[in-house]
Every structure is written in C-alpha cells, then in structure tokens.
Amino acid sequence: MSEQISTGGAQALTDQELARRENLRRIRELGVEPYPYRFEFSHRAADLRLMGEGKESAALRVLGTYSLAGRVVAFRGSGKTAFLNIQDDHERIQVYLRKDDDAQEAGLVLGQGDAIWPVVRSLDLGDFIGVRGVLMRTKSGELTLQAVGPNGFELLSKSIKPLPFPKVEETKDESGKVIGRKSFQSSLFTDIEARYRQRYADLAVNPEVANVFRLRTAMVQEVRSYLLEQQFLEVETPTLQAIYGGASARPFVTHHNALDIPLYLRVSNELYLKRLIAGGFDRVFEFVKDFRNEGIDRTHNPEFTQVEFYQAYADYNDMMVHFQAIWQRAAKTVLKLKARRSALARGVTPEALERECQAIQAGDVPLVYQGRELTTFFGQWERLPVKTALKRKGVDIDAMADDELQDLIKRNHWELDGTFTRGRAMMLAFEEMVEPDLWEPAFVMDHPLESTPLCKVHRADPTLVERFEPAIAGMEVGNSYSELNDPIVQRRLLEQQVERGRGGEDETHPLDEDFLRAMEYGMPPMGGVGIGIDRMAMLLTDQSSIRDVLLFPLQRPE
C-alpha cells in the first residue's frame, strides 16, 4: 500500500480504479474539494424536460437560469467542450460544458476557464456534479442545460470504481454489418447475481429496474390508502416472538441474551392482530415482514412482506370484496404510472394519455403478466369452491367413498404426504387437476376442515372451513378466513396440532396459551386476510421472479 493509493481491502486495484484515484489526486492538487457538503439546485431533470417541451433555444434562454445535480452517466468530450448525460432520480438530461474563454455570446461563458476545465477533463462516469446554467436546444434538437458563469459547474462527489454501465447494443443486418447501435436504452448489466448482490449498481445503471421499485412503493401506498379509507387502524406487532404461530412454517430461531430465552422471528402476525380485535380495535392492519425458514425459488424468499387485516363482525365473503377492490385499485394505479412514464417514449400526446388513463380507471385496459392477458382481472373474480371445481372435472368428492378416493390417487400416481384423509385427498386432487389450469383471478374457497386450525367451520358443510386463497396467474396471492373465535374449539384444534408436532410432523406450532386467553375473554366474529405484497408486486410490475421485486433478496454471502 502506498500512502496515496490505499486499497481499502484485500483485492488489488484494477487499472481503472488506479486511474480514478489518480484523477482524484489531480483534482485535490488543483485545490478543488472532490467531496463538498451540499449543492443547492433549482430543478430535477424531469422538471427541466417538462419545461423545455416544444420550446426552441431562443424561447428557452429567456426562461432564466436553472441548476441541477446528478450523476454523470455519459461523457462525450471534444477538446474544449463536453456533452454529458446527467442522471438524477433515474431521469436523464444532457448537459453542455464549454471552456469558453473566448466565447462570443455574452453571458454564455462558463467563466472559470482554465481553473475548472482540468476538473471537467478528469471527470469519470459515475461522478456526481452540480450544474447551473441555461436551457438550450442543440442542432439535433436535444434539450440541454448549458453551464454558465463562475458557478456553472461543481464536482459533488468522485467515483473511484467504475459502474457497470451497459455497452452499446448493436443491430446487424444479414451480412453482419452493423446498421445501428443504441446506448442507455436497454439494460445490459445483466449478470443476475451481481445485480442482486450490488443492487446499488443495478439501480444506478438500469433506470427501469429502479422504476419497478417505484411502482412497488406506489402499489403499497394504494393498499394502505384503501385500508385507511375503510377505517382500518395501522398497527405494529412484535417481530421477535417467544411463541411463533399463525402459519404453518418453520421459524428462524434466535436468542435474547438478557432474558436468556430463545426467540423466534415471526412467521405470521395473525395471532397478534386477533388479540387486538379482542382488545376492541374493530379494524386493524399491518404491513409485516414474515420470516420462514424454507426454500428459495421464483416465488419464495425467506423474508417476505404481507399486509394482514382483520375486521370485526365480518366474514370471508366481506373479505373477498376488500381483496378484489384492493388488487384492482393498486393495479390501476400501477398501470397509470406505467402509461405516464412511457408516454414520451411512445409519442403519446397529453390528451391521448389522459384518455388512456381514463380507460385504465374504467378497467378497460387488461393487466398483462409475462405476455399473457388477465382478461377478467378488472371484472368480478370467480368464486371457485374446491368441491365445485373438482365436480367440473368429473370428481364428485361427496359421492365418493374413501377407497374410491384412494383409488383415484393411486390410478394417477399422485403422492399424498401424511396419512390419508378425505380432505387431504380432495386438496391433492385439486392441486393436480385444477390448479395447473388456473390463470384468471379466482377465489379458491371452502377448503377441507383439516387445512387450518384457525378458521371457522363452513356454515353449510361440516367437512369444510370458510377459507379462500385467491390465485392469479397460477400464483397463490393471499389467504383469508372467517376467523375461528370459539375458544373451546380453538383450544382443541391447537392441542391436536401440538400432538401432531410431537408425532414428528413438520411445521406445527407450539400452543399459544396467551392467544387462547384472549379468545376466552371473548372475540367478536371477524374476517381476516393476508395479502402477499411481493407476489402482488410481481404481478403488477410484470416480473417473473420475486427477487426482481425485492431490493435486496437473500443471497449466500460472497
């Protein structure tokens, strides 16, 4: 390690990193601080583009002076001038810098001449700069902020490691001749592992990735707005729990030192929200991170986000209404944002865009996932009782004896885990015969009694519970019950589950006496819902993997 070039780590520096540190040294030598404290800016790139819309240079110039700050994402220097593309908030605008010592046009002199120009020449992609100047339009018509005056240019932060900016994409004709190239149009930092591990780099160079997360946030806000408008109270419940429950899942275990007790990261907040209903809050909701110590795949991450809400005096039918309304509202908001964002690129006029948004609001624009339309998404979602769905496939559960059901399983070479029960056989048949064909939104409802211990028995069929699991594009996107509130029955069901746990069955939970006590004091009838926020984001932003809607998906450490 030399005194100037500290590696700051075990790995040797690349030639590019060394070059940037040399630039940094040179800038300091010029008396310029490469990491100043603040920069006052008047506008952002998106604002400037909006203001410059349809105006020529002469009209732009009289608008006055503007300033902006952002990251250098492209640099085209030519001797005593430079065109830069600056990105702020994932929007880009061109900036023009001139050495300008002998500029003819009064007032358009950068004005720092020899002093600042070496700093401009030492810029690297990824640096942050501030620019003050006037708007203009170049020969080719691109809106550009031209730096003017002694404060026209400031270095705000030096980048000493090259970002993985995409190379240009080439279009070739049959003979292999390059007939066109474009840069910064498409994401070409494609190493998927690096993108997840270094999300900051992914976001910095792939604005459309950042947009997915902006859409996700907008979506979450819509869900929250809906629930608040419906008089639900937002609450917070423990993440660290001495007894985990509310879902069948293996927990992460940790330890509290001062109390010297094991603690679990919650697998669900369900039992706490029900306690709150017992406590007299009639409508509560919570956005929660749940943690489940299970596998990772396209639709599962060990920590994931749900919104759960509980409503006193309601049942699962009421919850279906909320569920559909929330999804449709969030989807419309996301579709509108997508339309607005792409309007300029698509050449859509403001009037046409307004009509588009009205059509989206009216539900006339279909949601598309992975190239396939969800045609009934903005209509009434089908309510699909498991038994009814099977009957349509020629399997009438109620008309079949146990041995007939067992025969059905054997004939199809299905595998039933655990011991045979009619309910398990029914769900197996549903998964094998119905689920693969589910695409349009459907409330899969009225599951067998043994599927959950937290749900009320179906009012019309004692072998079922009042539960629904909505499926969209083949994905389970939530779960809801007419919540069980009979403490005697609840105790029996939970005790049975504990027994099964002792018998070695996976994924049961310990008996939560405190939860039972709350129910014994009296709990009103209620409907409860959990919505998987990550999967919702996948559906609405058209991403095929849950990792593409998580800013920092779990990765094995480097």
Partner RNA sequence: GAUUCGGUAGCUCAGUCGGUAGAGCAGCGGCCUUUUAAGCCGUGGGUCGAGGGUUCAAAUCCCUCCCGAGUCACCA
Residue numbers 67-106 binding RNA by CB under 7 A: 74-81, 83, 94, 96, 98-103
Per-residue contact flags (x/-) with RNA for residues 413 to 442, judged by CB under 7 A: --x-x-------------------------
DSSP 495-548: HHHHHHHHTT-SS-----HHHHHHHHH----EEEEEEEHHHHHHHHHT-SSGGG
Q: In the numeric block, which tokens belong to residue 88?
A: 């702020």
**Binding mask 237-266 vs RNA (x if CB under 7 A, - otherwise)?**
----------xxx-----------------
Select from 385, 524, 403 the least CA-distant residue to 465.
Answer: 385
Is the Cβ–Cβ distance between 251 and 292 less than 8 Å? yes
Cβ distance to RNA smaller for residue 20 or 43: 20
Q: Label residue 347 left, alpha or beta by phi (over 0 means left) and psi (-120 to 50 means alpha).
A: left
Pick the closer one to RNA by CB: 65 or 81: 81
Q: Which of 14, 358, 375, 412 binds RNA (CB under 7 A)?
A: 14
CA distance 36 to 20: 18
Residue range at the interface with RNA (CB under 7 A); choices 10-18, 59-67, 326-334, 351-359: 10-18
Considering beta carbons, is residue 304 or 309 the nearer one to RNA? 304
Distance CA 546, CA 336 (A): 22
Question: How far apart, in Å, are the Cα atoms of 428 and each of 386, 410, 447, 451?
Answer: 11, 12, 11, 12
Does 474 interact with RNA (rule: CB under 7 A)? no
Strand partners, 70: 129
Nearest to RNA of 300, 346 (CB atom):
300
Is residue 359 at the binding interface for RNA, with CB under 7 A as the rule? no
Among 9, 295, 371, 394, interactor with RNA by CB under 7 A? 295
Long-range contacts, stretch 251-258, CB < 8 angstroms, 24+ apart: 251/291, 251/292, 251/293, 252/291, 252/293, 252/302
What would the x/- binding string for RNA be over residues 39 to 68, using CB under 7 A? Answer: ------------------x-----------
- Considering the rule CB under 7 A, would residue 196 count as an interface residue with RNA? yes
Cβ neighbors of 271 (< 8 A, separation 6 or more) are 245, 246, 512, 515
The mark string for 202-241 relative to RNA (x by CB under 7 A, - otherwise) is ----------------------------------------
CB of 163 to RNA, least distance (A): 7
* Paired strand residues for 532: 306
CB of 235 to RNA, least distance (A): 22
**Binds RNA (CB under 7 A): choice among 233, 451, 489, 516:** 451
Select the span of 46-54, 59-67, 148-156, 504-512 touching RNA (CB under 7 A).
504-512
Q: Convert residues 131-170 into a mask of x (bound to RNA by CB under 7 A) and - (unbound).
A: -----x-xxxxx-x-----------------x-xxxxx-x
Nearer CB in complex with RNA: 450/461: 450
Per the CB < 8 A criterion, the answer to whether 250 and 294 are in contact is yes
Residues 6+ apart with CB under 8 A from 490: 453, 454, 484, 516, 519
